[in-house]
Amino acid sequence: MPKKPLSVYIHLPFCVQKCLYCDFASGPAGTDEIAAYMRLLTKEIRSFEAIASIYRVETVFFGGGTPSVVAPFYIVQLLNQLRSQYEFAEKAEITLEANPGTLNAEKLVKYREAGVNRLSLGLQSIHESELKLLGRIHSYEDFLESYELARQAGFANINVDLMSALPKQTMGKWKKTLETVAALNPEHISAYSLSIEEGTPFYERYGEGRIGRLDLPGEELDRAMYHYTKEYLGSQGYSRYEFSNYAKKGFESRHNMTYWTLGDYVGFGRAAHSYLEGKRFANPSEKEAYPEASRTAYQRFRAASPQSEKDAMEEYMFLGLRTARGISREDFRKRFGRSFPKQYEKELLELYRSDLVEQAGGRIWLTDAGIDVSNIILARFLLD
Ligand code: SF4
C-alpha cells in the first residue's frame, strides 16, 4: 500500500527574550530546562512509532520559539530520530525558524549537514526604531550577517518574516522595508499585519481603551500597505499564494500548504497541534502541563474522535480560500464523497456576482476585493 504523506511540526519554545507583541508559547530558558524538554520531546515522538509505517514524511518544520537558540546537536538528534522512525521523501522540505542574533556559521553548517534545507528568518522590519518598539533582540545589521552566513552555508531556500501596520509606521517606511528585503532576493517572504493579542505586554500597555496610545495605522492605511505588498512583490517576481505569503516560483512552503489543504500533520512539543486521521488534537500551551501531556499524547490521539463532516467541510472552505489556488469542486467531491452543499452553492454564486470570488477550471478563489472582506466571507461558510 502506498504510504500517506505526512508533515511533522516540532515546537521548540525557547527565545532569548520575549518580544513585546508575542503570544506564542515561548520564552527564555536555561540549559537544564532545555535538556529536560528535549528528553520529553524525544519520548513523545517515539510514542507515535506505531503509526510511522503508514506515512512518508514530506516536510518537517522546527518552529517556536526560536529553534536556533538551542544547541544544534538537538536538531541533529531530532532529525535522526525522525529518520529512524519514518521513511522520508527524497526531497523532503525541512525548515528551521531562526532569529538574527542567534546564528553563526558553525550552527548553519550543522543544520545543513543534518538535512535542513529551508531557513525562515524573523526580521519584521529594517528600521531600528521599529525593531526596538517590538522588543526584538537584533538589529538589521545582525539580520544581514545571518542572511549572508546562511547563503554561504548553502541555504538556497530562505524565508524572511516581515510585519506591517506597526505603531507609527508610515507607508514610506513599509515600502523601504519591502524594497530592501526584496533586493536581497530571498525565495519567500511572509508579511503579516501586527495584531495586539491579549496576554502580551503590548496588550497590557495598549489593549482595551488604551489602544490609541500605540498610534497604529488606521484600517485604510493597513489595507493600502497590504495592497502595495502584493503589487510591489509581484513586480519583483513573488506571487502571493496565501493571504500573507509570497514566493518565487516553486518556493511556496510545502509545510504550510499541508495546513491549508487539510493534509495530515503531527505536531510534537508544547502547544503543538496535529491533524491526523481526521482528528484534531493539541498539546497544552502551559509549560507546567507539557510533561504529563507529552507522556499521554499518543493515547489522547487514539482516544480522540474524528471531526464531524460539518466541521471538516467548513475547514476545507476556510483554509482553502486563504490560498490563491482556492478550492476545487473535484477535491471536495473526492474528500467528502458529495458535491458542495446547497448553502455553499448559493453563497458562491452571490460572491461571484459581487466579484468577490473568481472561478475557472473547476477552481474557485477569492479576488483581491474578496480578501479585503475575507472575515465576513469566510463566516458565510459556517454550515447552518
Ligand atoms: S522571537 Fe518569535 S517566538 Fe520568540 S518571543 Fe519573539 S516573536 Fe515570540
Instruction: State pLDDT tens for residues 101-144.
Output: 999 999 999 999 999 999 999 999 999 999 999 999 999 999 99
Q: Ligand 1 in contact with 102 (CB < 6 A)? A: no
- Closest residue by CA, ligand 1 atom 3: 65
pLDDT of 341 higher than 70: yes
Residue 128 alpha carbon to ligand 1 centre in Å: 17
Q: Which of 121, 210, 215 is nearest to 162 (CA)?
A: 121
- Closest residue by CA, ligand 1 atom 6: 19
To test the ligand 1 pocket, which listed residue (19, 136, 285) has its Cβ within 8 A of the most ligand atoms?
A: 19
Residue range 213-218: average pLDDT?
80
Rounded to 10°, the helix 72-85/31-47 angle is 10
What is the band of 211 on the pLDDT scale with cuts at 50, 70, 90?
low
Q: Ligand 1 in contact with 24 (CB < 6 A)? A: yes
Q: Contact 225/217 with Cβ under 8 angstroms?
A: yes
Residue 26 alpha carbon to ligand 1 centre in Å: 7
Q: Ligand 1 in contact with 66 (CB < 6 A)? A: yes
Q: Report the b/e string of 53-76 with b at 16+ CB within 10 A.
A: eebbbbbbbbbbbbbbbbebebbb
pLDDT of 346 higher than 80: yes
CA distance 72 to 77: 9
To test the ligand 1 pocket, which listed residue (11, 26, 190) has its Cβ within 8 A of the most ligand atoms?
A: 26
Atom of ligand 1 nearest to the CA of 21: 7
* Confidence at residue 212, expressed as pLDDT on a 0 to 100 scale: 59
Q: Ligand 1 in contact with 65 (CB < 6 A)? A: yes
Residue range 171-178: average pLDDT?
98
Q: Contact 341/348 with Cβ under 8 angstroms?
A: no
Residue 346 alpha carbon to ligand 1 centre in Å: 42
Q: What is the domain partition of the chain in residue ranges?
A: 4-260, 309-379
Q: Assign 86 to helix, strand or coil.
A: coil
Q: Ligand 1 in contact with 16 (CB < 6 A)? A: no
Residue range 266-288: average pLDDT?
97
Q: Ligand 1 in contact with 200 (CB < 6 A)? A: no
pLDDT in tens, 10-37: 999 999 999 999 999 899 999 999 999 9
Q: Contact 99/139 with Cβ under 8 angstroms?
A: no
Residue 199 alpha carbon to ligand 1 centre in Å: 14
Find where cell 513586480 sits.
235
Enter the DSSP assignment of 237: T
CATH architecture of 309-379: Orthogonal Bundle (1.10)
pLDDT in tens, 289-332: 999 999 999 999 999 999 999 999 999 999 999 999 999 999 99
- Closest residue by CA, ligand 1 atom 2: 65
Return the CATH fold of 4-260.
Answer: TIM Barrel (3.20.20)
pLDDT of 215 higher than 90: no
Q: Ligand 1 in contact with 253 (CB < 6 A)? A: no
Residue 358 alpha carbon to ligand 1 centre in Å: 37
Ranges of H-type helices in the chain: 31-47, 49-52, 72-85, 105-114, 128-134, 140-152, 171-184, 201-206, 219-235, 254-260, 290-303, 309-320, 329-336, 342-353, 368-372, 374-379
* Confidence at residue 201, expressed as pLDDT on a 0 to 100 scale: 86
Residue range 170-183: average pLDDT?
98
Atom of ligand 1 nearest to the CA of 135: 6
pLDDT of 209 higher than 70: no
Q: Ligand 1 in contact with 186 (CB < 6 A)? A: no
